[in-house]
Structure 1
């Protein structure tokens, strides 16, 4: 195999509480096999928070095998393999804690996180979540947080990156990008408890490709006609409505700032998201390009609304 992509879901805040596992096998940069297991955790305790994530309950797993029984069927796949997971620290910690829970010998294999791996193939800065990376490469995810579907999506993300960079295999990809961390499982320092992150204020994700003009003709004298527009920060206007109005004016919405950007629309920035500076990465890039002579106009929401109505 080139690699095996895996994904775990857990029942509660203990990393040893695996309740499902997805495994996707890749050879010659093609998916060749898949396996999915429901797992009975050491204790049948499910938190509402985790059930809301993956939808599994006690009823789903109470008659399933425990991890140590399933491990007997799958342990040979891990010996000397390359294992990949998205946010690998989590999935590797789950595996490690499950092995420790049942006093199973720790196997030796290498693992890679698909976050730094896929970053090498991104054409622009993209969020680290699996959904954001998949959207960047137009990869469909059928059922997020189903362990098999997430493992398959992770595998497709990796094979797509290999293809995008014109490499024959994961191995040649990693040889080209030697900064991608390849770690030994035996050297993992696992987290033993799952700490749910406090939900930060975020913006409703708008799929730019779904926004198209719903007018028949354009005013070619409009300041946004034929211009590339990028948004950053929170607007008083609904973000999707604002984008729709730009498209109806003949403009084009872009997800990232580049040398072809004409306008960067800046809303209110949340410092818990962008940091103490209060400046987003899009703004930083725009200012950097302006210093190099690129004609990007950075405007606030008030000026944006004025230009929309002009």
Structure 2
């Protein structure tokens, strides 16, 4: 069995199979006994249909023979010991259970390269063909959709308002992954997995009996484009001359927000630095201290404020109030509906 790439295939939303018509997928997570990916000792799954979690599963399993020693560092992470799995079903049995509950739906995992790689290696160890499935990575999706210091599952879950009951418990991680994807889909206005991936410029992975292709982002994606400051902006507008940076999701597209403030005379920049005068924080942020918001830009704002640079922190509501000031100058088309 090799990792040869299969021929190009249509995206999920161009097909009629599972996951094409709605938010239907199975979030999975595996825990391993040692540094070998195939040493799977636990499998978690959260089945999502029509945008709702309909079942959750968490199984302990005996790792494949030859990969079944437990390293202390792994035990310290997940708490699973050799005695706990000694009487559990084999990986081959648990794989059948996993495939039964997934019902042909695409997989999603946080850092799918690890989880899918673990399934591949474990299948080889027990002389099983790799299962056939499309898959996506919520880590890659989060990097496209969110602006964080770290994209580890606990940080992404916290950003998305998702409870993570017990990190490194397979069922808990799978459930958190499922809710993260659902929250990203909500923020992006996506009603099916294929459309969400397309909007994020993420290519699905594909696992087949003797071949695989990884989930990855497309190199052609450039994201929103920084606008030029409007030459005819009203110099009396409160945003005129401000150097503005945005972090977190807003109720409007990032590009629309950038274009709007640029028409008011603000300079838009992607990163916080000593020139920044305003940081707009989305995702329903209601405070005024960037230290309370977990993104890289917020952390940099804290850094520069501590050095004496004045950076005003705005909520989305604050921004809307300032944009409304344009109506006093007769310019009414710059406030997004």
Q: Are 2:173 and 1:150 equivalent residues in the alignment? A: yes
| Residue of structure 1 in register with 2:53 after alignment | 31
The change in CA–CA distance for 1:36 and 1:251 in structure 2 (over 3 A counts) is closer
- TM-score w.r.t. structure 1 length? 0.61
After superposition, where does 1:110-189 map in structure 2 within 5 Å?
110-122=134-146, 124-177=147-200, 179-186=201-208, 187-188=211-212
Give distance in 2, aligned partners of 1:251 and 1:173.
32
| Contact 1:262–1:295 under 8 Å retained in 2 | no
The change in CA–CA distance for 1:119 and 1:251 in structure 2 (over 3 A counts) is closer
| Contact 2:64–2:126 under 8 Å retained in 1 | no
- TM-score w.r.t. structure 2 length? 0.56
| Contact 2:30–2:41 under 8 Å retained in 1 | yes
Give distance in 2, aligned partners of 1:252 and 1:133.
17
Count of aligned residue pairs for this structure pair: 212
Structure 1 residue 79: deviation in Å?
6.7
Structure 1 residue 74: deviation in Å?
3.1
- CA distances 1:250-284 after superposition (whole Å, capped 9, x unpaired): 966354437x95861579xxxxxxxxxxxxxxxxx
Give distance in 1, aligned partners of 2:156 and 2:203.
18
Runs of 5+ consecutive residues of structure 1 not aligned to the other structure:
191-230, 233-249, 268-293, 298-310
Give distance in 2, aligned partners of 1:162 and 1:251.
27
After superposition, where does 1:30-69 map in structure 2 within 5 Å?
30-43=52-65, 44-69=68-93
Q: Secondary structure of 1:73's match? A: helix
The change in CA–CA distance for 1:296 and 1:174 in structure 2 (over 3 A counts) is same
Q: Secondary structure of 2:151's match? A: coil
Give distance in 1, aligned partners of 2:152 and 2:79.
19
Give distance in 1, aligned partners of 2:149 and 2:137.
16
Structure 1 residue 34: deviation in Å?
1.2
Runs of 5+ consecutive residues of structure 2 not aligned to the other structure:
1-18, 215-271, 274-287, 313-337
Structure 1 residue 140: deviation in Å?
1.3
- CA distances 1:170-195 after superposition (whole Å, capped 9, x unpaired): 23212323x212111134379xxxxx
| Residue of structure 2 in register with 1:270 after alignment | none
Structure 1 residue 16: deviation in Å?
1.7
Q: Secondary structure of 2:128's match? A: coil
| Residue of structure 1 in register with 2:219 after alignment | none
Give distance in 2, aligned partners of 1:101 and 1:78.
22
The change in CA–CA distance for 1:266 and 1:96 in structure 2 (over 3 A counts) is farther
* C-alpha RMSD over aligned residues: 3.1
- CA distances 1:6-26 after superposition (whole Å, capped 9, x unpaired): 000011122221000001100
Give distance in 1, aligned partners of 2:289 and 2:186.
32
The change in CA–CA distance for 1:111 and 1:296 in structure 2 (over 3 A counts) is same
Which stretch shifts more, 108-117 or 84-93?
A: 108-117
